[in-house]
C-alpha cells in the first residue's frame, strides 16, 4: 500500500501513552492565553467551535455515524492550515531568495498527517454529495481566511491552530470515553482500517480504540508544535528536526 510514512508514526506510541496517562488533557502551560496573539487565537477557536458544534450536531448523545461525520469534517479543515502556512513560507523563500530555516517541512508534515486522518476515517464512511459540498465550501472559506491571516500575523495563526488542536484532543478523548462506556457498540470489536494500521504501524489486530488513541496523540503533537511556533519570529530556526516533534 503506497502510503507516505512521515512524521508521526515514529513517535506515536510514547505520545499515545503520555496523552492517555494525562486522561486526554492538554498540558496546563498550553492553556494560558496571555499575549495578544494568544488571546486572538484562543477566542477565535472558541467562537468557531460553537458554530462547528451546531452544524455537526454535536451533543450529549453521539452515535458512530455522528462521530464519523464530525471527524471527517474536522480533518478536512484541519489539513488546510499547515499546507497554507508551508506554501506561504515557500513562496516567501523564493521571493526573498533566502532560506526558510526549516519550517516548511514541519508544516507540510502536519498537513499530510491531517490528510491521513481523513483518508483513514473515509474507510469507515463514504460521505454523500451534500456533505462533500459543505467540505468544499468550508475549505474555500478556511483556505482564503487563513492565507490572509497568516500573511498578517503568523504568530496569531499558530496560536489559533494550537488551541484548535486542543479542542480536537478533547473531541477524541470524549469519543474514546464513549467507546469505553459502551455507548458505541458498533466500534467495540471493529478492526481499525488497514491504511491506519500501516500508517501508524499499529499491531495487526488493532481496533478502533487503538486508532482513536493514535489520532489523538497526533493532535497532541500538533498542539506542541504550533504553540512553539507561535512564540518564534519568522526568521528563527525551526527547533524541530525533520520527522520529529521533540525539542533538542
Lookup: cell for 67: 462521530
Q: What is the pTM of this model?
A: 0.86
The number of domains in the chain is 1
Query: At 149, which CATH number?
Result: 1.20.1260.140
Cα 38 from Cα 13, distance rounded (Å): 30
The answer as to whether 240 is a domain residue is no
Known binding residue 227? Answer is: no
Known binding residue 101? Answer is: no
Known binding residue 158? Answer is: no
The answer as to whether 140 is a domain residue is yes
Q: Please count the residues of the chain.
A: 248
Closest CA to 5 of 117, 124, 123, 113: 113
Cα 158 from Cα 106, distance rounded (Å): 13
The answer as to whether 223 is a domain residue is yes
pLDDT at 6: 46
The answer as to whether 4 is a domain residue is no
Confidence of residue 227 (pLDDT cuts 50, 70, 90): very high
Residue 66: is its pLDDT beyond 60?
Answer: yes
> Tell me, what DSSP letter sits at residue 186?
G
The answer as to whether 76 is a domain residue is yes
The answer as to whether 242 is a domain residue is no
The answer as to whether 25 is a domain residue is no
Lookup: cell for 184: 458505541
For 16, the domain range is 12-20+36-229
The answer as to whether 49 is a domain residue is yes
Residue 108: is its pLDDT beyond 90?
Answer: yes
Orientation angle between helical segments 129-152 and 154-180, nearest 10 degrees: 140
Known binding residue 167? Answer is: no
Amino acid at each position: 500500500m503506497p502510503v507516505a510514512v512521515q512524521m508521526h508514526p515514529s513517535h506515536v506510541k510514547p505520545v499515545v501513552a503520555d496523552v492517555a496517562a494525562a486522561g486526554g488533557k492538554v498540558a496546563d502551560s498550553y492553556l494560558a492565553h496571555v499575549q495578544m496573539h494568544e488571546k486572538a487565537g484562543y477566542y477565535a477557536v472558541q467562537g468557531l467551535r460553537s458554530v462547528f458544534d451546531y452544524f455537526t450536531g454535536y451533543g450529549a448523545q453521539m452515535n458512530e455515524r455522528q462521530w464519523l461525520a464530525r471527524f471527517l469534517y474536522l480533518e478536512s479543515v484541519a489539513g488546510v492550515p499547515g499546507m497554507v502556512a508551508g506554501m506561504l513560507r515557500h513562496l516567501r523563500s523564493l521571493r526573498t531568495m533566502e532560506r526558510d530555516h526549516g519550517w516548511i517541512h514541519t508544516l507540510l508534515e502536519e498537513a499530510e498527517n491531517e490528510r491521513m486522518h481523513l483518508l483513514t476515517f473515509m474507510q469507515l464512511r463514504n460521505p454523500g454529495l451534500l456533505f462533500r459540498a459543505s467540505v468544499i465550501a468550508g475549505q474555500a472559506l478556511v483556505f482564503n481566511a487563513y492565507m490572509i491571516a497568516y500573511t498578517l500575523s503568523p504568530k496569531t495563526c499558530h496560536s489559533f491552530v494550537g488551541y484548535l488542536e486542543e479542542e480536537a484532543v478533547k473531541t477524541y478523548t470524549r469519543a474514546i470515553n464513549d467507546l469505553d462506556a459502551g455507548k458505541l457498540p458498533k466500534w467495540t470489536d471493529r478492526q481499525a482500517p488497514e491504511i491506519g494500521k500501516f500508517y501508524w504501524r499499529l499491531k495487526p489486530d488493532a481496533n478502533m480504540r487503538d486508532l482513536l488513541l493514535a489520532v489523538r496523540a497526533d493532535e497532541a503533537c500538533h498542539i506542541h508544535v504550533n504553540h512553539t511556533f507561535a512564540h518564534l519570529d519568522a526568521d528563527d530556526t525551526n527547533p524541530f528536526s525533520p520527522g520529529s516533534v521533540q525539542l533538542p
